[in-house]
Amino acid sequence: MKETQQHLLNTFLSLVKIDSESYNEGKIQAFVAGELKKLGCRVQVDNAGKKFKTTAKGNVIGFLPGTIKSAPFVLVAHLDTVTPGNGVKPLVQKTEITSDGKTILGADDKAGVATALELVRYLQTRKLPHPPVEIVFTLCEENGMGGSKNLDISLIKGREGLVLDHEEINDLLVQGPAVNTIEVTIKGLAAHAGVCPEKGISAVEVAAYAIAQMKLGRIDKETVANIGLIQGGKATNIVTEEVYLKGEARSLAEAKLAKQTAHMKACFEAAAKKFTKKINGKICCPKITFNVIKRYSAVNVSKTHPVVKAVLKAAKEQGVIIRANASGGGCDANVLSGKGFTLPNLGLGVRNCHTVHEKLLLKEFFAAFEIVLQTVLNYKK
Ligand SMILES: [Zn+2]
C-alpha cells in the first residue's frame, strides 16, 4: 500500500470511531477543525449550530492557501451519520472495510471527510503547484441538510468544486431534482350523515375530486409528483369536516417544478369551487390551505463544465469509467446549488449506505482520492 493510501485509511478509521449521528457532531467538529489546523489551514467555524439542536457550534471551513493564482477549489463533505452510528468498530479486510454488523460504517460521509483531509496533507507535503482549496465540512446533512442550509457562505470565496458524498465511483452526479413538499388542509362542513347530509360539505369528497383531476406520478422525463399521505375523518355517520394531505413534487428543472406545484394547487381550488353550495341560504365554500415547503434546489451542472471534464479526464487516467449522471435524491450539492455553487457529487466507493451492511471498497476509495487530487491540481480559474 502506498504511503498516501495508508494515511487515507488511517484518517478514515479515526473518523469512523468518533460518534457523530446527526445533531451530535460536536466531537467530530472539534476533531476535524484540529486536524485542518495541524495541516496548516486557517479554520473558521460558522454559527449554523445555533439554527438547530446540535452539540456542534457550526460547519467547519478550512482554507488552504494556493501556490498558483486561481479562485479556490471547494470540497464539501458532511460530518454527521445516520443511526445506528455510535460505537462503530471498523473491520479492515483485504478489499473492503465494514462495520461489525451492529452499526453502520459511516463511510457516508467519512470517506469524503478523510479524502479532503488527506488531500490537504498531500498538497502540504509535496509542494506541488495548486490553487487555493476551501474545505467545507457540514453538519446534519442526513437530517434535512441543516448544515448547508445555514452555511455562512460569506466566509467562502470559491463557488466551484466537488461534493464528496456518493456511493459508486462510476457515478458523477451532475443533476439532481429540486423538491417541494406540499401540505394541504381541506376544511369542509360537518353534519350528521344520516339525518342531514345536505347541510355538510365532505372534505373527503373535495380531496377525492381534487386528486382525480391532478396529474401525478411521472409528469415528464424530468418531473414527478405524488400525494403520499391522507388523514381525516372521525366516524361513518359524520360528513367529514377536515382532511389533511401531504405530497411532493420533484423536477430537474425549477420552472417545471413551479408549474407542477401551481397545477396541484389549482386542482384543490377548483375542487373547493365545485363543492361550494348554499346551506340555509348561505354560500358555503370549503377552505383550502395549501402550503409549499421548498426542500432543496436542483443541481444542474453542464456535462462540459471544466470541473466535470477534469474529473472525467482524471478518471480515465486511473482506468476508471465515470459517467455524468442524474440523481433522484438530494444532498448538500442541491442546497448549495441554490446558493450559487457548482458542485458535482463524486462517488467514493461506498456501498449499502444507511444500513448495517455499509462498506467501503478500498480500490474505489483510493482511485477516487487520485481523481480528486488530479482535479484539484488541474483547476485554475
Ligand atoms: Zn451522505
pLDDT, tens digit (0-9, with 9 covering 90-100), for 290-314: 999 999 999 999 999 999 999 999 9
CA of 187 to the centre of ligand 1 (A): 40
133 and 64 in contact (C-beta within 8 Å)?
A: yes
> Mean of the pLDDT values across residues 320-331?
91
Torsion angles phi and psi, residue 102, rounded to 5: -95, -20
78 and 333 in contact (C-beta within 8 Å)?
A: no
pLDDT (0 to 100) of residue 327: 87
Look up 317 and say whether it is catalytic. no
Neighbours of 262 (CB within 10 A): 12
> Mean of the pLDDT values across residues 140-159?
97
pLDDT (0 to 100) of residue 129: 96
Of 292, 272, 294, 291, the closest CA to residue 283 belongs to 272
Query: Given a cut of 80, is residue 280 above it in pLDDT?
Result: yes
pLDDT (0 to 100) of residue 231: 98
CA of 92 to the centre of ligand 1 (A): 21
Of 157, 156, 133, 114, the closest CA to residue 379 belongs to 133
Cell triple for residue 75?
Answer: 470540497
CA of 76 to the centre of ligand 1 (A): 11
CA distances from 111 to 16, 76, 119, 368 (A): 9, 12, 12, 10
Mean pLDDT over each residue of the chain, to the nearest integer: 97
Q: What percent of the chain has pLDDT over 90?
A: 98
pLDDT (0 to 100) of residue 46: 98
Query: Given a cut of 80, is residue 1 above it in pLDDT?
Result: no
Q: Which of 25, 96, 141, 332 is catalytic?
A: 141
Is 178-296 in the same CATH topology as 3-176+298-377?
Answer: no
Look up 80 and say whether it is catalytic. yes
> Mean of the pLDDT values across residues 275-285?
96
> Mean of the pLDDT values across residues 275-304?
96
CA of 337 to the centre of ligand 1 (A): 16
Residue 201: strand pairing partners: 189
> Mean of the pLDDT values across residues 345-373?
98
Q: Which amino acid is at 26?
A: G
Q: Which of 21, 25, 46, 80 is catalytic?
A: 80
Place of cell 414527478: 224
CA of 270 to the centre of ligand 1 (A): 41
pLDDT (0 to 100) of residue 328: 79
Query: Given a cut of 90, is residue 127 above it in pLDDT?
Result: no
Architecture of the 178-296 domain: 2-Layer Sandwich (3.30)
CA distances from 161 to 8, 21, 167 (A): 20, 26, 18
Give the whole-angstrom CA distance, residue 57 versus residue 71: 27
Fold of 3-176+298-377: Aminopeptidase (3.40.630)
**Residue extents of the structural domains in the chain:** 3-176+298-377, 178-296
Largest CA distance in the chain: 86
Cell triple for residue 157?
Answer: 470565496
Query: Given a cut of 90, is residue 180 above it in pLDDT?
Result: yes
pLDDT (0 to 100) of residue 329: 82
Residues 206-260 have pLDDT tens digits of 999 999 999 999 999 999 999 999 999 999 999 999 999 999 999 999 999 999 9
> Mean of the pLDDT values across residues 47-68?
97
